[in-house]
Amino acid sequence: MRTGAEMHALVERLYPICRSITGDGVRRTLDVIGEHLALERHEVPTGTPVLDWTIPREWNIRDAYVADGTGRRVVDFAEHNLHVVGYSVPVNRRMPLAELREHLHTLPDHPQWIPYRTSYYAPTWGFCLSQEKLDALPEAEYEVVIDSTLADGGLSYAEHVVPGTVTDEVIVSCHVCHPSLANDNLAGIAVAISLAQALAETKPRYTYRFLFAPGTIGSITWLARNAERIDRVKHGLVLACAGDPGPLTYKESRRGDAEIDEVMRYVLRERPHRTVEFSPYGYDERQFCSPGFNLGVGSLTRTPYAGYPEYHTSADNPGFVSPEAMEDTLAALQDAVGVLERNRRYVNLSPYGEPQLGRRGLYDSLGGRSDAKQAQLAMLWVLNLSDGEHSLLDIAERSGLSFDVVAVAARALHDAGLVKE
């Protein structure tokens, strides 16, 4: 799966499934992801302590509606799964509109859109509907049914690993807990799958771990169950909102100067983009960047969290995300991986004066003139700054040369025995 069209088809296929932080919707979603990637799947029982939290009861829903006196369903979960507030407790009652109203959520500013609401940790129920639909409801008595269950079960998540030559890991994390919302985060899931497939065709240096887990509680669960593995996580990205029409946005890690931050700033420089500082709200970077972990994990989105009117509404549908945008997000990620994979610190083994490049054939091997000039400069820069302090990306930034030119020069010097890792 590599083309935007294939990614978009996956978004459309996943869109109708009703997901929440637990339940069968997540499992069906992981089933579909599993058709593309080999997954290690996990079920963590209700009641399990995870860091400061506890795995909640599992929520499932079969049906839900508001019907009028004639039995006609005026709000129907079968039409759109956003119609029910996530984690609604069961209800089966008749009540007048006046009482029902306290459980209804609309978006007056966008009268045709259905909002997305949840109440994971406070037991209540509710329906979401368009303002227009609400305005059309006559004052009358309605039948209100939510056929849901909240029962012991488990939290589901999955991992896919692309093994590298070293055990140092790069983590790519996507939340899989949102129901029919395309950009947030089915587009992220589709792009992550494509990235994993592309990586598998290379022999990466780092081990890449893709995490498909419910937001907040899912990453907390993973962190709780992998305490002994955390030290291996050298870099990471939380991937979300990967398909909307906006430019790319990189949100820095809490550290702000982690290598992933430098890589993303470099990769995005030539593209339309925004870079924003870390803040402790948004997606699962909140957990990876909590002060106890403080991992080098940033977040890549297009338009960020809560930054577009369609965010958390029925307008975030497959029409809101485009094949082109997902391809662009994927391309940026592949560029970032390309830099990350090759970014090292070398040590000049001949640090006193310049080594004589000519006698080693390092001038002759350069080909065409303007390329040769660049390559020669790059070798001089790598030799001069390879003191163990500067990475190749640092050298590219300081010299103004491209990372590719610097990395090629470093490889040539390495092959000539002039630098070592």
What residue ranges bind a copy of itself (CB under 8 A)?
51-53, 121-122, 216, 219-220, 223-224, 254, 279-281, 286-287, 289-293, 348, 350-356, 358-359, 377, 380-381, 383-387, 399
State which residue, 137 or 372, has the beta carbon closest to a copy of itself: 372
Could you count the other beta carbons within 10 Å of the beta carbon of residue 291?
7
In the complex, minimum distance from the CB of residue 78 to a copy of itself, in angstroms, rounded to a whole number: 31
State which residue, 200 or 230, has the beta carbon closest to a copy of itself: 230
> Which single residue is written with the structure tokens 């992981």?
30
Q: What is the largest CA-CA distance in the chain?
A: 94
Which run of H or of E encompasses 91? strand 91-96
State which residue, 125 or 363, has the beta carbon closest to a copy of itself: 363
Cα–Cα nearest to 283, from 189, 352, 219, 366: 219
Residues contacting 313, CB < 8 A, separation 6+ = 82, 107, 110, 113, 114, 115, 116
State which residue, 113 or 381, has the beta carbon closest to a copy of itself: 381
State which residue, 93 or 398, has the beta carbon closest to a copy of itself: 398
Contact 252, 278 (CB under 8 A): yes
In the complex, minimum distance from the CB of residue 62 to a copy of itself, in angstroms, rounded to a whole number: 27
In the complex, minimum distance from the CB of residue 375 to a copy of itself, in angstroms, rounded to a whole number: 13
In the complex, minimum distance from the CB of residue 18 to a copy of itself, in angstroms, rounded to a whole number: 23
In the complex, minimum distance from the CB of residue 351 to a copy of itself, in angstroms, rounded to a whole number: 3
For 46-125, list the strands marked E by DSSP.
49-50, 53-54, 58-67, 73-76, 91-96, 104-105
For 176-221, list the strands marked E by DSSP.
207-213
In the complex, minimum distance from the CB of residue 120 to a copy of itself, in angstroms, rounded to a whole number: 8
DSSP SS3 for 268: helix
State which residue, 112 or 356, has the beta carbon closest to a copy of itself: 356
* Angle (nearest 5°) at CA 179 between 173 and 182: 70
CA–CA separation, 192 and 240 (whole Å): 9
* Angle (nearest 5°) at CA 29 between 17 and 117: 50
State which residue, 140 or 227, has the beta carbon closest to a copy of itself: 227
In the complex, minimum distance from the CB of residue 165 to a copy of itself, in angstroms, rounded to a whole number: 28
